[in-house]
Structure 1
Amino acid sequence: MQLLAQIVTGLVALIHVYIVLLETVLFESRGRRVFGLSKEKADIVQPAMSNQGCYNGFLVAALVVGFVHPNPAIASAFTVFGLACVAVAGVWGGVTVKRSILLIQTLPAVIALALHFA
C-alpha cells in the first residue's frame, strides 16, 4: 500500500509541476489557453497567476522533501503537509474558480493521503 501511496503522491507532484509551468513560464502561450483566458484578461491576471505558480512550486517542494528526506518521520510529515495543502487549495479553487479543480487537484491528493494512512 505504501508503494501505491508514493506513486499517487508522485503523480500529485507532477500535476503541480505542470501547474507551476502553466502559471509561470508557459502562461502567455499554453497557460492562457488551458485557463480559457482572452489575451486582454490574461494580461490583467498574469502577475497574480505567476504568484500562484510560485505557491504551487512550494507545494511541489514539500512533496519532494517527503520523497528525499532520510528521516522517515520527517519525510512523512512533509508528505502529509504537502498533500493536505494541495487538497485544501484544490477545494478552495473548486469553490472559487472552477469545479474541475476538485477532480484535477483535490481528488488525487485525498486519495494519496488515504493511501498514506492505510
Structure 2
Amino acid sequence: MLLAAKIVTAAVLLIHVYIVLLETVLFRTRGRRVFGLSAEKAEIVQAAMSNQGCYNGFLVAALALGLLYPDAAVARAFNVFGLCCVAVAGMWGAATVSTRILFVQTAPAVAGLALVLLA
C-alpha cells in the first residue's frame, strides 16, 4: 500500500508541475491554448495566472517534501497536507472554473490521500 500511495502522490506532484508551467512559463503559448483563452483575454489574466501558478508551486513543494523527507512521520504530514490542499483547490476550481478539474486534480488527490491514510 505504501508504494501505491507514493506512486499516486508522485503523479499528483507531476500534474501540478505541469500546471505550474502552464500558468507561468508556458502561459502565453501552450497555457493559453489549454485554458482556451484568446490572446486578448490571456493578456488580461496573465498576472493572475502567474500568481496562481506560484501557489500551485507551493503544492508541488509540499508533495515533494512528503515524498523525500527522511522522517516518515513528517513526510506523511506533508503528504496529507499537500493532498488535502490539492483536493480542496480542485473542488473550488471545479465549482468556479470547469468540472473537468474535478477529474484532473481532485480525484487523483483524493485517491492519493486515501492510500496515504491506509498505508
Deviations 1:38-85 (A, max 9, x none): 000000000000000000000000000111111111000001000000
Unaligned runs of 5+ in 1: none
CA distance in 1, matches of 2:106, 2:70: 27
CA displacement at 1:5 relative to structure 2: 0.6
State the TM-score, normalized to the length of structure 1: 0.99
Unaligned runs of 5+ in 2: none
Aligned residues: 118
Letter in 2 for 1:68: L
Determine whether 1:51 maps to 2:51: yes
RMSD of the TM alignment (CA)?
0.4
CA distance in 2, matches of 1:39, 1:33: 9
**4+ aligned runs moved over 4 Å, structure 1:** none
State the TM-score, normalized to the length of structure 2: 0.98
Alignment of 1:1-118 (within 5 A): 1-118=1-118
CA distance in 2, matches of 1:15, 1:95: 19
CA displacement at 1:9 relative to structure 2: 0.3
